[in-house]
Amino acid sequence: VSFGFEDVTESEKVARVKGVFRSVASRYDLMNDLMSAGVHRLWKHDAMNQVNPQPGERHLDVAGGTGELARAFLTLADKAGKRRGLDSQATAIVCDINDAMLEAGKARPDNQKWEGRLDWVCADGQSLPYPNRSFDAVTVSFGIRNFADRVAGLREFRRVLKPGGRLAVLEFSHMTVPALQAAYDTYSFNVIPKLGSLVAGDEASYQYLVESIRKFPAQDEFRQEIEASGFSRVSVTNYSGGIAALHFGWAV
């Protein structure tokens, strides 16, 4: 199955991506664990440590899905507050274009802990419903790959960040050792769609995910895109040999 995304209009791409995630929402966390053997949790953990959440800060998790990064932000901000003897509370917003993903996240029992500090908003990350300079940190994990216009998204993140705010983008990337890329391609093109079919009952959506990973720019090209969108000192951290990479930068 090929979605031929290069041939469709932007609004059609947005509609198709919505369909993909509506279809996988209820099994989403489980599929993530199976596809990456749980390693995605370690990548996210390291990413959030680099973001270094602080008490009183405002965090926006774009394409936040079930809210894993937002909860991690609040947890780490509280820990930092304890260490520093500060009790001002951080807040977080999970923003996603797909209400089914947000509903799956809202249903999680561990949200009770964050009453009044964790918000859920259905919106497109390419056009955020927030004024300029609203947030201290913006994160996007495994979401920007689906944007119809990635650079529009990056500019939007820059707009809503305060100057000096942090941007962290975690995304599937390209292997740093070319010989491993072939083995990884075999795994992803053959195993992942089959796993999607077995666990989530949806082979085509997972086929789309694999294709979109392939089309995403390599680490250095993406770093340059982020810098050109108004960020400085953009660093790249490769995880698991480049299966995923974190791009971290500062809003100018």
Q: Which residues are known binding-site members for S-adenosyl-L-methionine?
A: 66, 96, 124-125, 141
DSSP letter, residue 170: E
Could you tell me which stretch among 90-98, 214-222, 229-237, 243-251 binds ligand SAM (CB under 6 A)? 90-98
Phi, psi of 5 (to 5 degrees): -60, -20
CB proximity list for 244: less than 8 A, separation 6 or greater: 40, 43, 170, 171, 172, 173, 238
| Interface residue with ligand SAM, options 65, 165, 196, 242 (CB under 6 A) | 65
Site membership for ligand SAM, residue 154 (CB under 6 A): no
CB closest to ligand SAM, residue no: 65
Residues 24-63 that bind ligand SAM (CB under 6 A): 63
Helix, strand, coil percentages for the chain (3-state, nearest 5): 55, 20, 25
Residues 114-153 that bind ligand SAM (CB under 6 A): 124-126, 141-143, 146-147
Between CA 45 and CA 182 the distance in angstroms is: 28
Between CA 95 and CA 49 the distance in angstroms is: 21
Min dist. Cβ of residue 81 to ligand SAM (A) = 24
| Interface residue with ligand SAM, options 98, 188, 219, 240 (CB under 6 A) | 98
Return the sign of the alpha-carbon dihedral for residues 217, 137, 209, 20.
negative
Could you tell me which stretch among 71-79, 80-88, 95-103, 173-181 binds ligand SAM (CB under 6 A)? 95-103
Of 155, 163, 158, 139, give the one whose Cα is nearest residue 50: 139
Cβ closest to ligand SAM, residue 81 vs residue 143: 143
Residues 222-241 that bind ligand SAM (CB under 6 A): none
Structure tokens at 189: 């093109």
Between CA 122 and CA 126 the distance in angstroms is: 12
| Interface residue with ligand SAM, options 57, 70, 76, 96 (CB under 6 A) | 96
Structure tokens at 94: 């999970």
Min dist. Cβ of residue 113 to ligand SAM (A) = 19
Q: Number of residues in contact with ligand SAM, rule: CB under 6 A?
A: 18
Q: Three-state SS across 12-26?
A: HHHHHHHHHHHHHHH
**Contacts with ligand SAM, residue ranges (CB under 6 A):** 17, 21, 63-65, 68, 96-98, 101, 124-126, 141-143, 146-147
